[in-house]
Amino acid sequence: MDLRQLRAIVTVAEVGSVTRAAELLHLVQPAVTRQIRALEQELGVDLFERTGQGMRPTEAGTVMVDRARRALGELERARAEVQPAPGEVTGIVTVGLLESTADLLAEPLVTALARDHPGVELRLMTAYSGHLQQWLDDGDLDLTLLYDLDSTPSLNARPLVRERLWAVAPVAAGLRADRPVPFPEAAAHPLVLPAPGHALRRLIDAAAVRSGAAMEVAAQTNSLRVQKRLVRAGHGWTVLPGVGIAEDVARGELSAAPLTGPDVRRLIVLGTQRAGRTPPAVEAVGRELVRRINSAVLEGRWPSAELQGA
């Protein structure tokens, strides 16, 4: 098994064609075919189904491609770390951002790193907390924002921000930041909610139980942007963190107010893996991400948020 074989199976899996993979790898087609066959013979399994629509990984092939992609990524990171310019922090860092925080944090983080650490190659992934935690567990992320997570045997969780959740409604509802809305009042409207199993949905369901409010669910989605779009279209109200709707409210596209009776809050943490060495590039990105978060809160760009810890 060698790197050429690993690159070949990953590329073929991504493009579904030996011919196209050969073009991308700057090889002739028979060479790519030989590399795949040699690896299949070594492993004793077929890695691809050869169909009229192209090359499709078998079950074993899917496992092998996933592992090969990670191995190649780690080698790429190692190359970047061991060949730095004098005094320069270099490396590849993959960061997870909660979907609700991406608009606030992504651009300032990229700008600061380009200015202060140009040798760092930043890769940003956005998703909900559950997906980000799974990617961190799997080693696909170096660090990530999560919420309502305690430290575990495999992960460190550094508390950063505690923020209040808001009732979000069409502009005509006239919700205002200085007039908190009791949860039962919000629940009296049809609600556009995150899908069951989502961590935010669990917070909302718990608040409904505490307040004794029955919720009428108009729609459920796993997309923050779809939630907001459905509310704008008049399909109901929703519940979201203030950071996820600040720009929409400022543009006059939604109205919003903090929830009360009970308050509903989430704790955002910086998640990192406990095991293994932390590369200097990852440490640098983590420090800069915390600085961007602190600035956003202290400058009032993160609604109803309170910094946690030092």
Answer yes or no: are the C-beta atoms of 61 and 12 closer than 8 Å. Answer: no
- Scanning the chain, the segments in alpha helix (DSSP H) are 3-15, 18-25, 29-43, 59-82, 102-116, 129-137, 183-187, 199-211, 224-232, 246-250, 280-298
Mean pLDDT confidence for 190-213: 91
| Distance from C-alpha of 65 to C-alpha of 81, rounded to nearest angstrom | 24
Query: Does 121 or 253 have the greater pLDDT score?
Result: 253
| Distance from C-alpha of 176 to C-alpha of 6, rounded to nearest angstrom | 56
Structure tokens at 276: 């293994």
Indicate the angle between helix axes 280-298 and 102-116, nearest 10 degrees.
130
Answer yes or no: are the C-beta atoms of 307 and 269 closer than 8 Å. Answer: no
Mean pLDDT confidence for 110-121: 91
| 143 closest CA partner among 302, 290, 265, 266 | 290
Instruction: Give Cβ neighbours of residue 27 (< 8 Å, ≥ 6 apart).
Output: none
Angle at 222 between CA 65 and CA 92, to 5 degrees: 45
pLDDT digits (tens, 9 = 90+) for 86-100: 567 888 899 999 999
Say how many Å lie between the first and final Cα of the chain, rounded: 48
Mean pLDDT of the chain: 89
pLDDT at residue 83 tops 70 = no
pLDDT at residue 109 tops 70 = yes
Report the pLDDT value the prediction gives residue 27, as an integer from 0 to 100: 85
Report the pLDDT value the prediction gives residue 229, as an integer from 0 to 100: 95
| Block residue for tokens 């810890």 | 309
Report the pLDDT value the prediction gives residue 86, as an integer from 0 to 100: 56
pLDDT at residue 84 tops 60 = no
pTM above 0.95, yes or no: no
Mean pLDDT confidence for 144-150: 86
Mean pLDDT confidence for 131-150: 87
Q: Which range (1-15, 65-79, 207-221, 279-293) has the least confidence?
A: 65-79
Mean pLDDT confidence for 189-193: 96
Binning pLDDT at 50, 70 and 90, where does residue 76 land? confident
Instruction: Give Cβ neighbours of residue 307 (< 8 Å, ≥ 6 apart).
Output: 160, 161, 294, 297, 298
